[in-house]
A and B are shown apart, each in its own frame.
Chain A
């Protein structure tokens, strides 16, 4: 590695450190809460033809899931920083597991390993996982 490249690397790293520090100091480190309204708005934008039959909103505000009206598809909404993302898949094509009150969708993508939706209690979680793991409406 040449001296010029090392200097360039050092200057870039210093600049990055300053900018990250300033943005943090200004309060830019944020995590969005997946509210009902936000989840509905995002899914309607990303998947306008996904007719929702039933919603499952996470109690911790980190994720939500929906089953389509005909029961053939599932959609999940997840928080990412201060933004939201969605995925839509055929019902039963993604692994769904329950860990206590958490329903976990095993997405298996490099950029999205899992989406977690927290039920308010274990009894509800058991009911949710039965619905979300493949039971049709």
Chain B
């Protein structure tokens, strides 16, 4: 069974669909585009595809080839194995994605994707330059050890990535019963929102059932329009700063660390963790929001 490079094949479709969305934005006024933001997102996307070719993919390939020699099961390259691999990879994606939001070392790679204040198809391509190989080694290697061929794994990961492209849009509202099982634009808008009630929700890749199973599902509320971005929005469109801003923050914090506890907190604590608790984590933002709501006198 041959496994094509589906992401490479999809690139022209990505470009075409962004053009369509741009036209739809202009004609209908729905959604939002800003040229510099779009440029930054596209450059981040290109970098994320090109940079792993400079050693990272070779390392990943070498590790997976070695691990595959010691696989637990001999899983054949047949259709049902592809389906099984896709499901397990989607579950893997859920947990990687959740950890990427809950642990700062992984957030440093993933924050790139959330750093735009826009939510359109170009945002889907705003991807990390520093996480693909690291995440692949840590989170995908277990599937190779299980017995899935690395080429099959690369294929299903590509399918997952392509699925996630089209859900980055404000053009599509709700999708009826499809939303019960699948991640949709509505579900993913919630994930990209910085509204306190939407923080740390809807980590799904393709199947939204993982969020429903693990208690992180939050439906979009028409009364609360999502505001996209990050808690401390960036003030630059410079791709280099977008790529490394959080890493620089980690390095600065580690330089000021006074104990092993500080080192662990600054790297493996929640984004926003600080020794004296003076900074805001998602949990604190939610608490503050809840307090602000209850302290507002009824009119």
Q: Measuring CB to CB, which residues of chain A are less than 8 angstroms from any residue of chain B?
A: 1-2, 5, 8-9, 11-13, 15-16, 18-20, 22-24, 26-30, 45-46, 48-49, 78, 80-87, 107, 109-113, 115
Contacts and interface: CB of A to CB of B under 8 A. Distances in A.
A5 B50 contact: yes
A115 B291 CA distance: 30
Main secondary structure of the interface of A (DSSP, over half): mixed
A48 B117 contact: no
Contact of B241 (A5, A82, A83, A110): A110
Contact of A5 (B37, B53, B231): B53
A82 B31 CA distance: 13
A8 B25 CA distance: 28
A85 B235 contact: yes
Contacts of B37: 81-82
5 contacts: A9-B50, A15-B11, A23-B38, A49-B292, A82-B37
A123 B69 CA distance: 76
Interface stretch (B39-47, B180-188, B205-213): B39-47
Contacts of B238: 111
Given A20-B38, A81-B37, A26 B234 contact: no
Contact of A110 (B32, B50, B245): B245
A12 B245 contact: no
Contacts of A111: 234-236, 238, 241-242, 245
B19 interface: yes
The 8 closest A-B pairs by CB, nearest first: A112-B235, A85-B233, A83-B117, A111-B234, A29-B35, A28-B33, A48-B292, A12-B46
B288 A22 contact: no
Given A15-B11, A84-B233, A85-B235, 15 more contacts: A1-B53, A12-B11, A15-B14, A19-B122, A23-B22, A27-B26, A29-B36, A46-B231, A48-B288, A48-B292, A49-B291, A81-B34, A81-B36, A82-B37, A83-B233
B43 A16 contact: yes
Given A49-B288, A85-B233, A13 B46 contact: yes
